[in-house]
Structures are given as C-alpha cells and as structure tokens.
Structure 1
Amino acid sequence: MTTSYRQELEKYRDIDEDKLLGELSPEELAQLDLELQEMDPENIMLPAGLRQRDQTKKSPTGPLDRDALMQHLEKQALEVKEREDLVPFTGEKKGKPFIPKNPKREIPKEEQITLEPELEEALANATDAEMCDIAAILGMYTLMSNKQYYDAICSGNITNTEGINSVVQPDKYKPVPDEPPNPTNVEETLAKIKSNDKDLKEVNLNNIKDIPIQTLKEICEAMKSNTHVNKLSLVATRSNDPVANAVAEMLKENKTLQSLNIESNFITSAGMMEVIKAMKQNNTLTELKVDNQCQRLGDSVEMEMAAMLENCPSIIRFGYHFTQQGPRARASIAITKNNELRRKQKKT
C-alpha cells in the first residue's frame, strides 16, 4: 500500500466506507484496484482474504448450506476410484531368514560331569524346593533369591517352594497402623498441674498440634511450683521460642522434674540457647531431649550444649544429634563421666 493511499485513508478514517468509495473518481478507483493487486501474499500480518485480490468472477448461487456441501463432498469421495499400487502385494517373502550367531553351545564330552547312577536318579526326580536346599548347602546362592537361600540355611525343613531360578520378589509390605491420637485432655491436665495433684506423675502432650502457645506457657508456669510431676513431654506440639523461654524459666525454679522432651518443634537457636543456659541452675533433671527442630541450631549452641553437659553432672541422657565433631566428642565424654559418677553414688 503506497504512501498516498495511506494518507487518503487517514483523511477519511471517520467517513463511511460506501460514502468514501462513492466520492472517488474512476482514476482513483483504478489506482486503488491496482494497489490492492500489489498486496504481499507472504505478509502473515494480513488476514488471508487481504493477501491477494479477489479473483472470483461468479456470483453466489444462494446461501451456504453446510449439510448439503458435506453430502456432496462425501458422494464425490466415494465415486473417485482408488489409485492402484505401483507394486501389487503378492505375499512373497524377501531376504534371508534370521539365524542366531551364537547357537546353544553343546558341552564337550571331556567337560561333561558324570555322577553315580543313584545320584543321577535322585537329582532327576528332585523337586524345585529340594533343588533349592541342595544349592544352598553347596553354596550356590546365585541360583536363588536371598529369601530362598536363608530359608534353606536357617530352617531344617523345606519351607520355601518358589523353585530354583525363580524371579526375585520383594517381601510383601506390611502396613504399620498409625498411632492413635493422644487422648490427653489438655485443660484437665493443666488444672491438675496447677493444683499440684499428687497422682499426676507424667505429662504427655506429644503430637497434640492444636494447643495454643499461651496454654503451653501456662503449663510451664504451673510446673514451677509443682512437686509431683517428674516427666514432661512436649514433642511435636508446635512449640516455638516463647515456649522455650517459658521452659527455661521453669527449669530455673522446678526441683522435681527429672525428664524433659521438647523434640520436633519450631524452637530456634535463640530459644534453645535459653533452655541450655537455664540448666546451670538445675541439678535434678537427668534426661533432656531437644533434637529435630525446624532449623539447624548452629555451632555456638552445640558448644554451649557440650559445656552444659560438662558442668551438669545430673544429666545422664541427652537427646541431640551433633553436627560438629568437637562438641560431639566433648558431649560423649561428659555423658560417660556423668553416668560413671551416678553409678558410684548408687554404690555408696
């Protein structure tokens, strides 16, 4: 499309198309038709109907009837004869038949093993299970699965009858049922802790995920003055640093608790550091488990743990997987020393 015609279109953009064409002179119409013929058919930005001029001279015979058109096309397709194959199929096989390059090797006579007639007869009549036992006794474990081999070795009777050269199959999966939900009533337990109930010796709130943080802090606050609970477990209760701070304050005042488990929670290195430092003021706790938190606690916390175990002889069981060799070695030595000291105290 030339520049002159483009300018004309810009001038008459808001004018009706029929009115615009009616105002054009015959020379302008001829120029327009010539320019339309010069449209680029390779321009993919134009619609298909505008890539070339209209070459259809016939006038429409009527409205489009799609069903009639489809019937006409199907009829025409059925009337056209199929093209004959250039080479007719005769069923003749061409080429040479396949012959394997390595046929089954026959064992030479000098390599054949001959047994006594009694053994030959016994092996010929042996069942697959008996062959498995014989192979296991002779140490031919490659001819059977591990299960068959150990069954034949460990049992005096033939127990595995899968057969020799059988497909190795894994043991059947035995589903392990999920643990039942924790039936502990949190509110009732909190009331008993506050009242210092003498029958309440252990508090197990493991895997109860809907305990509010405020309730957990209240439990730790009530444990400060409790003189009967000797075991407290808060595993997988979504405890965080505020709960850890409450636990640290409880450890400073409680003189009865012997076992504390706060594993599998969301306590960070800052909260864990408070718990570890609070152990300096506690000499009754014998077991402390703090492993499997939401994030790595860090080297400084592990060093503080090792120092705590060295300075707290009451701790004889500590649950944590150290990532550094130095604190791990110090903690192991300290736990061994604390257990030896406890053993000597029991003797005296």
Structure 2
Amino acid sequence: MSKKEDPRDIDEDAILKGLSPEELDQLEEELQELDPENAILPAGFRQRDQTKKSPTGPFDREALTEYLKKQALDYQDRNDLVPFTREKKGRVFIPKPGQGKIPIHEQISLEPELEEALKNATDAEMCDIAAILGMYTLMSNKQYYDALSCSGTIANKEGINSVVKPDQYKIYPDEPPNPTNVEETLQKIQENDSSLTKVNLNNIKDLPIRTLKEIFQAMKNNSNVRTLSIAATHSSDPVAFVVAEMLQANKSLQSLNIESNFITGHGMKAIIRALVVNTTLTEIKIDNQRQQLGDTVEMEIANMLENNPAILRIGYHFTQQGPRTRAAMAITRNTDILRQQRKR
C-alpha cells in the first residue's frame, strides 16, 4: 500500500506550467467568486462573462440612432382588438320610482304640529333650531352664538345658507396723552410744594433727559412726594444714575416706577445698590427694560431684598430660579415684619 502524498509537497507552479491555455481559462472561471444576488456589485462581478464574440466594428452613435428611427417607421402599428367608435357600452342606469328615498323603517315620524312647523319654517328659524340642538356644523360660529343668544325671538336673520362674513371688531380710541404739565410739576418739586404728593410722567415720549435729571435732582430735598412714576419715557442709564443718587438722599418717597425704559444692567445696579441704604421706599417697579438685565443684576436684586426690610413689593419678572426664590422669601419676611410692627 502506497503512502498518500502530502498536499504541502505539491509543486503548484509546475502544475500551472503544464496546463494549456484552454485549461487555464477553465481554471480561472472555476476560481471566480461570484455573487449573482448582490445588486451592489457590477454586472461583471455577479456572473461570468460568457460572450467570446469579437467586436464587428467601432461604435457609431449616429448610425445606431438612424437605424432605430428607420426600424420604427417601417414597423406597422398594431391594430386595436376592439376599434374605438365612441359608442357607450352596457345599459344606461335609470332610477326606479322611489329609489334614493329613506327607507320606511328608518323614517322618523313626528307629531302633526311639529311636522307642520318644520315644513313652514324659514332658514333663520331652522338655524335657531339647529343651534339649540347642538348642530353647530350647519352654520358659522357667529350664526351659532347669535342663535343661542336669542330669547323668544329669532336672533339670526341670515339663515343657514348665508355667506359667512367677518365679525365687525370694535374700534377703541387711543389712550389720551398724559395731561401732566412737566414744567409746573418740576417747579412744585423744587419748591417742595405740600400739595404735590403724586407725580405721574408715564408715556411722555418727548420728555428730555435733561428734564428728567432735574426732576430727580429736585427729589433729593423733597419731603412731600410719595409716588413717582416715569414708565415709558425713554429713560436711559444717565437718568438711572441720578435716580440712584436721589434714593440715597430722599427720605419720603414710598413708590417708584421706572418700567418700560432703556435702562441697562449697569444703570440698574446703581439703583439696586442705592436701595440698600434707603429705608423709606416700599414699592419699586423695574420690569420690561429694552434689554434683559442679566443674572448678575438679578443676584443684586435678591441681595438687596434680603438686606432691606422696607421693600414690600417689587415689579420684576426673574428669569433665574435661584434669585426668584430668594426674592420671594425676602418679600414674605418683610411683610411679616410689617405685620408684627402693626400689632405692637
């Protein structure tokens, strides 16, 4: 019995040299790893090339196009199996007498009085009935609510089939301008007039910055004004710095409103820091400035409220949770202190 030959001892190069060209081509086809179901591979890698025919000549696109056109013209069109004659096929539908009506078992019978009332009802009356029954899809919103608002009479005069019209909105007149005489008010503040306890300069758009500064300069020595409001007067940081100086000197002002202006965080810091030493102001409104005051200013406000027991109300919408909570707790504490003082 002969011993089997070890595959590792086979000389592959010698075997390949002994193969003919036909045998080499056959071996190459057998060794190709093809995947016919893989659509991502090119066609040459999905199946073997089985065409051995040599090209008959160079490719000529124009000649191929002319050949296809000539073949299309020479080919006769196929005749239709059924010629088109514009004749209607089949039977024409003719409705039978009574077809399309509500079946008898589905019909609802009403009292003769109701039948007669509905038969003679106008569109407006039917609209009111539909609204009472909750059938709001048969009418517009205006018709529906107009019909519901009726009390014994027909409120909707247009009917169900009327064209939907827009509601007529009420025109409200603009707010009258602020009647405050600025020059006279400034003079009374400077003279410390006892009859002037409330100053309202809100919404005066053309109020000069110089005049606003003079008003707060005069407020430093005024002891009669209790409420001062300059909301929406286009006040900016230069006015805010004078307001801060006034708060440090004034000992009678109780309410200050500087909302809806152009004061930045820099000017607001000066006002807040001045309130730390002010012990008479109980209400301040600073919300709705042209730009957000920022986290640093909100922390300053919270610190001020914690160190100033006199502030009972502050008009400002906090954007951060921490300062908002601290401010609420400080306002609650100040209110409790005031209540305890009143009990004594």
In which range does the TM-score fall when normalised by the shorter chain? 0.5 to 0.7
1:321 to 292, 317, 321: 317
Which residue does 2:116 correspond to in 1? Answer: 121
- 2:168 paired with 1:176: no
Matched to 2:300, the amino acid is: E
2:209 to 190, 213, 222: 213
Distance 1:146 1:312 in 2: 55
Matched to 1:128, the amino acid is: D
**1:154-174: per-residue Cα shift (whole Å, max 9, x none)?**
553443433235444443122
| Alpha carbons of structure 1 residues 306 and 151: separation in structure 2 relative to 1, 3 Å | farther
Which residue does 1:240 correspond to in 2? Answer: 236
Q: Provide TM-score, normalisation by structure 2.
A: 0.64
Matched to 1:140, the amino acid is: M
Equivalent residues, number? 248
- 2:139 paired with 1:144: yes
Deviation at 1:285, TM superposition (A): 1.6
- 2:265 paired with 1:279: no
Deviation at 1:179, TM superposition (A): 1.9
3-state secondary structure, aligned to 2:205: coil
Aligned Cα RMSD in Å? Answer: 2.9
Which residue does 1:15 correspond to in 2? Answer: none
How is 1:1-348 mapped onto 2 (pairs within 5 angstroms)?
106=100, 108-109=102-103, 110-158=105-153, 159-164=155-160, 166-346=162-342, 348=344
Distance 1:288 1:157 in 2: 54
3-state secondary structure, aligned to 2:273: helix
Matched to 1:318, the amino acid is: I
Structure 2 residues not aligned, in runs of 5+: 1-85, 88-98
Distance 1:264 1:299 in 2: 19
Do the aligned partners of 2:231 and 2:260 also contact (CA within 8 Å) in 1? Answer: yes
| Alpha carbons of structure 1 residues 340 and 165: separation in structure 2 relative to 1, 3 Å | farther
Deviation at 1:233, TM superposition (A): 0.9
Which residue does 1:81 correspond to in 2? Answer: none
Distance 1:168 1:313 in 2: 60
Distance 1:242 1:269 in 2: 12
Between 1:182-191 and 1:105-114, the stretch displaced more is: 105-114
Deviation at 1:247, TM superposition (A): 0.6
Distance 2:166 2:327 in 1: 41
Matched to 2:313, the amino acid is: R
Structure 1 residues not aligned, in runs of 5+: 1-94, 97-104
3-state secondary structure, aligned to 1:203: strand
3-state secondary structure, aligned to 1:281: coil
Distance 2:296 2:147 in 1: 55
- CA radius of gyration, larger in: 2
Distance 2:333 2:149 in 1: 42
Q: Provide TM-score, normalisation by structure 1.
A: 0.63
| Alpha carbons of structure 1 residues 225 and 155: separation in structure 2 relative to 1, 3 Å | farther
| Alpha carbons of structure 1 residues 343 and 115: separation in structure 2 relative to 1, 3 Å | farther
Deviation at 1:347, TM superposition (A): 5.0
Distance 1:255 1:126 in 2: 77
Do the aligned partners of 1:145 and 1:166 also contact (CA within 8 Å) in 2? Answer: no
Distance 2:298 2:222 in 1: 30
| Alpha carbons of structure 1 residues 135 and 197: separation in structure 2 relative to 1, 3 Å | same
3-state secondary structure, aligned to 2:276: helix
Deviation at 1:314, TM superposition (A): 2.8
Distance 1:226 1:272 in 2: 23
Matched to 1:232, the amino acid is: L
Between 1:164-173 and 1:184-193, the stretch displaced more is: 164-173
Distance 1:342 1:238 in 2: 35
Do the aligned partners of 1:288 and 1:319 also contact (CA within 8 Å) in 2? Answer: yes
Between 1:168-177 and 1:257-266, the stretch displaced more is: 168-177
| Alpha carbons of structure 1 residues 160 and 243: separation in structure 2 relative to 1, 3 Å | same
**1:199-251: per-residue Cα shift (whole Å, max 9, x none)?**
11111112222332222112111101111111111112221111101111111
Which residue does 1:19 correspond to in 2? Answer: none
Deviation at 1:292, TM superposition (A): 1.6
Between 1:163-172 and 1:132-141, the stretch displaced more is: 163-172
